[in-house]
Amino acid sequence: MKILKIVLVAVVALILVSFTVNNFFINSEMIDREIAVVGHRGAGALAPENSLAAINKAIELQVDLIEIDVQRTKDNVIIVLHDESIDRTSNGEGVVGEMTFKEIRSKQLLDANGKESDQIIPTLTEVMELINGQTQLLIEIKQGSEVYPGIEDEIVKLIADKKAEAWCVVQSFNDDILLKVHDLNPDLRLHKLFYGNIFGLGIKRKALDAYPHVEAFNSFYWLTSKRFVEKVHQLNKKVHVWTVNSAGAVKQSKKKGVDGVITDNPTLLEQ
């Protein structure tokens, strides 16, 4: 009887250990395979794009990164705006580089339905102060020094002044911009934007290993193949796809094995 009890205790112990180990690996796998959520222009489908309200909404939804775009005014204020003009996203008209900050701030941002909101175009400084390390900030430099002389220097300096190197990432389609930022601060994380590897689009792309200074490639999800993702992963880098705005696109992106999706509506990825 005593031997039987010992055997039973041993069996129970083995079962408990096995259960614990299996759960550990299952949970670890779930964490490892969890896809990152990047709020595009804040949460551009839920509030006026690139507004403080959109940024705040993305923070509330606990996204992993918040993506924004930057331009610069005539009087050298870096603002958060996708287009080179304010026509599409505000109730005003004009080219950003030909307008003063005061002129731009007198306009109201439009919501997704084209209606005026209570939001105004924010500065990069205001966005950074709002986020303040609560999540990662992905700054897309739309135009470099050829349009806005010295903008890369200004952004790198602002990140340093705010002691935000740990939570700021810079991305661009333009290789020269990325190299310039890397030269200014080799420790700043960089993402390379591009459309995809489809012949005939006229997009000049180097070999993937020609980008040792970037940590991720962010590509258009329709033109991102599973094979491409695997090649990037072989280089120990990540792939985020844009702009993923439907449940079906989320599902397809996950099947391709991407590391993150860039979306106007982060609620699509709520469990």
- Where in the sequence numbering do the catalytic residues fall? 40, 82
d(CA 90, CA 50): 11
Instruction: Give phi and psi for 241, each to the nearest 5.
Output: -115, 150
Q: Which DSSP state fits 218? A: E
Q: How many Cβ atoms from other residues are within 10 Å of residue 164's Cβ?
A: 19
**Inter-residue contact 269 to 263 (CB < 8 Å):** yes
Q: List, as one string, the DSSP characters of 56-117.
A: HHHHHTT-SEEEEEEEE-TTS-EEE-SSSBSTTTBSS--BGGGS-HHHHHTSPBB-TTS-B-
Give pairs for 223-231: CB < 8 Å, separation 24+: 223/195, 223/196, 223/197, 223/198, 224/196, 224/253, 224/256, 224/258, 225/197, 225/256, 226/255, 226/256, 226/257, 228/196, 228/197, 229/256, 229/257, 229/258, 230/257
